[in-house]
């Protein structure tokens, strides 16, 4: 359940305006995608393994699974984040700090992604929800 940042009212996901105070919710709360139970059940292990293989295993094993591709997208964004963290490490001191903190945050997100894939959840990771979809 999400809450309106202006008045604190409980609001449904995916709505653009708060039904209580009428203020615009920017950015709009992105709805958690819902996947078919059979898809989730059959592909959650591969979806989880996507986080450990930069999405390669699910792309080979179950390219047609919407659930697995949802997690592949998140795995790819985490990988891009890792690359950026490596890149920023070129800058002495400040870059090392940002790179280290970034890597730790991405590690935590990876664990969260793995847990959500195994639970059969399509809930977005923080920040990743705001990023465009790479693989459909």
29 binds Zn ion (CB under 5 A): no
Size of the site for Zn ion (CB under 5 A): 7
Q: What is the rounded CA–CA span in Å between residue 95 and residue 8?
A: 37
Indicate which single residue of 21, 86, 91, 115 sits in contact with Zn ion (rule: CB under 5 A).
Answer: 21
Instruction: Report helix, strand or coil for 2.
Output: strand
Q: Closest distance between Zn ion and the C-beta of residue 6, in Å?
A: 4
Kindly state the tokens that stand for 17.
Answer: 């305006």
Residue 81 C-beta: closest distance to Zn ion, Å? 32
Query: What gap in Å lies between CA 58 and CA 83, rounded to an integer?
Result: 21
* Cβ distance to Zn ion smaller for residue 18 or 49: 18
**Cα distance between residue 121 and residue 4, in whole Å:** 23
Binding residues (CB under 5 A) for Zn ion: these are 4, 6-7, 9, 18, 20-21
């Amino acid at each position: 359940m999400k809450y309106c940042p202006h008045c604190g009212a409980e609001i449904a996901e995916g709505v653009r305006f708060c039904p209580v105070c009428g203020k615009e919710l920017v950015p709009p709360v992105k709805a958690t995608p819902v996947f078919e139970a059979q898809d989730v059940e059959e592909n959650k292990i591969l979806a989880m393994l996507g986080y450990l293989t930069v999405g390669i295993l699910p792309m080979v094993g179950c390219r047609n699974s919407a659930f697995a591709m949802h997690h592949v997208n998140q795995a790819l964004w985490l990988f891009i984040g890792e690359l950026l963290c490596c890149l920023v490490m070129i800058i002495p001191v400040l870059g090392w700090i940002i790179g280290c903190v970034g890597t730790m945050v991405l590690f935590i997100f990876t664990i969260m992604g793995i847990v959500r894939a195994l639970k059969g959840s399509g809930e977005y990771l923080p920040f990743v929800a705001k990023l465009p979809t790479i693989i459909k």
